[in-house]
Chain A
Amino acid sequence: MSTLDEGPLVARLRTGTEALLSPTTETDRERRRIAALALPFVALAVFGAVVPLVVMFRISVAEEYLTATAGVQFDAWVTLLASILAFVPGVGSAVDADPVYGEVIWNSLWFGAVTTVASVALGIVIAHALEKYDLPGEGLLVTLISFPISLPGIVAAFMMIVWFGKTGLLTNVFVWLGGEASLFPAVTSNEVKLTGRPSGTTIAVFGLFLGYLYSMVPRATFLLRGAYAEVNTDAEAAARALGATPWQTFRYVTLPQIRPGIVGAVILTFRTALAIFGTVLVLKALSVVTFRFDQILKVGYDLPTASALAGLFFFFTVGFTFLSLRFTSAEVTG
């Protein structure tokens, strides 16, 4: 192809590259600076995320993957999608497939939603108290509440064992209360032992719920603190001066102002909930998607299925995040 045949796009790219490499105007120089500043990040994103993800998608449709990746087949995706269809009520009975993946995806979604709602609700209460009340030792409170952010999920699970395990703090309290002169005859120590229960039972799932909250409440709180910091306190003072009760002030003045922050916190906390893995691995209370990866890889090393499930998870998270940030009033404040 001669240079004369160059399309307008190629020509633009060529002049663009030239301007970037040997800029003549100040605007070009600024562009070069921005490119230079962004380059390390883009390089890390390409080598650390884009390349591995492309390889992952390739493996999910590969016939041969153990030594070299070769061939194309969609078995893993077909299995996965059939399984999801088989789980859908109504349609499910017509599909001849094991609904296990549909079930784990459903578990991840409903459990993530429930824990997100609880965490954000608690986060609003805590952020409100930290911002609006003159609590003694507020600095210490902030440090203490932020502490669990540094703990990995497995440690959060261990904290639940410390609370509710066989010799857990709360279990022991009930043993003590329920001794000779039982104060709560109806509540025996056995009923507060939430960990180490068979997977899927209500009581085990409740233990896992608290384990999720342990990780998610501090995150939600600090996301909401960002929203609270931007609240117009003059409007609140005016409402109070005009006779609104504290609840009315919160309901009609504060809440409308922090609503975008709440939506943002819900989106980010839900993402966190979906990605929790260590807590489930230790407590083994509910089969969620992340827990399924462990089973797929540890039993049989079925990489195509794991890759397909991971691909679906990735598409869902990215799609969910960007669509919800785009189409809601969400405000992600720092």
Chain B
Amino acid sequence: MTDAPDRPADAETGTDLPAGPADSDAETDPRTDGGLPAMDGAVPTRDPGAFSQLATALGRPLVVGTVLVTVVFLILPVLATFAASFAHEWAGVLPTFVRDGEFLTLVNWRQALGLTQTDLGAQRGLGGFWTVFGVPIPVTIGFSMLLALGGVVINLLVGVPIAYAVTRYDFYGRGWLNTFAVLPVVPGIILGVAFLKTYSDLPSAVGLMIGYSLLKAPYMVLAVQSSFESMDLRQLEESARSLGASWPRTFLTVVVPNAKTGIVAGAIVCWTLAAAEFNFSYIVYSSGPKPFSLFLFENISNNPFLQAAAAISVYFAIVVVVTALLQAVGQRGFALGGVR
């Protein structure tokens, strides 16, 4: 099936050369039989040249090989980091997993999460603990999760209506509004510089929450929009209206519940991305509990390799759980309709 077609090569046109000037004249002339002139632009030569034959033979293995190399390049360090976070040390080719008869160790995790009694530095870095049902949760992590949740709530209030407006109605300026809603117009670091003076009187937490919701809004709008696009919104709205529901009631009790898949997927993705937002947080954060991404940054830049691996693995664990949740609502990973 991938072989070149078995056609005898014409003695004169068998080469893969583009048509010469004499040929192009003939191409532009109207055909004598009254048919349409030949197509403009590059037309492939009849017979595959050497390159094309080579591509036929090697193309598919090369493409599949590239995909495999890319997947290994992307995923192997993730697995290595997670595995190494349980290792005693990593000095040789492979991390040392067994030492003195002890297989794997949790010491890196304990240090990263500040659970060792002696490590006061790490505990201070984490801002102490909240105890929820007897489980100690580092304030940095718990607080970031709540901040991200706040951002998601704002995103829901903002993203669902705008997605409905641009999908359902046709109005002046709709294209522009759509572009602004699905493109992150301001990069995180620029927004951070802009927030420095504007909201310097607000607590860091409020500024961070507003920033998170603005930076991650496109993901919510895209997810909800793709749900709306698969529905016949006009019919749905008109049926509900003709049965006597007011417009606000129609929107809240008919339209929104029907888009719950997109809303849930959008909320999960926005929450995860907000919980680990770095560029904006790094510039804006000044006081109060530290955002999770800054905790990661401190681990990466200051702490021993394996402890940093454990800290990052906390986030990997969150992403894996979130990916599983996304699968459950029918969304494959973070490939949210072409993320920007």
Contact = CB atoms under 8 A, between A and B. Distances in A.
Interface in A229-248: 243-248
Interface string B64-89: 10110011011111101100100000
A53 B186 CA distance: 9
B116 to A, nearest CB: 22
Chain A at the B interface: SS class: helix
B335 A149 contact: yes
A245 B78 contact: no
Contacts of A290: 187, 189, 279
B327 to A, nearest CB: 8
Nearest to A217: B70
A160 B267 CA distance: 30
A88 interface: no
B59 A247 contact: yes
A86 to B, nearest CB: 23
Contacts of A139: 332
B338 A158 contact: no
Nearest to A164: B77
Nearest to A173: B93
B75 A310 contact: no
A139 B91 CA distance: 36
Given A293-B189, A334-B222, A310 B194 contact: yes
Interface residues of A, number: 107
Nearest to B187: A275
From B77, B157, B195, B276, name the one whose CB has the most chain A CB atoms within 10 angstroms.
Answer: B77
A18 interface: no
Interface of A: 29-31, 33-34, 36-41, 43-45, 47-49, 51-53, 55-56, 59, 65, 69, 122, 125-126, 128-130, 133, 135, 139, 141-155, 157-163, 165, 167, 169, 172-173, 175-176, 210, 214, 217-219, 222-223, 225-226, 243-248, 251-252, 268, 271-272, 274-275, 277-278, 281-282, 290, 293-294, 297, 303, 306-307, 310, 313-314, 317-318, 321-322, 325, 332-334
28 contacts: A33-B247, A37-B164, A40-B157, A41-B177, A41-B181, A56-B193, A129-B63, A139-B332, A143-B327, A145-B70, A147-B319, A153-B278, A154-B293, A160-B77, A162-B77, A167-B305, A172-B92, A218-B335, A245-B48, A246-B56, A246-B59, A247-B52, A275-B188, A278-B282, A282-B301, A294-B282, A310-B193, A314-B187
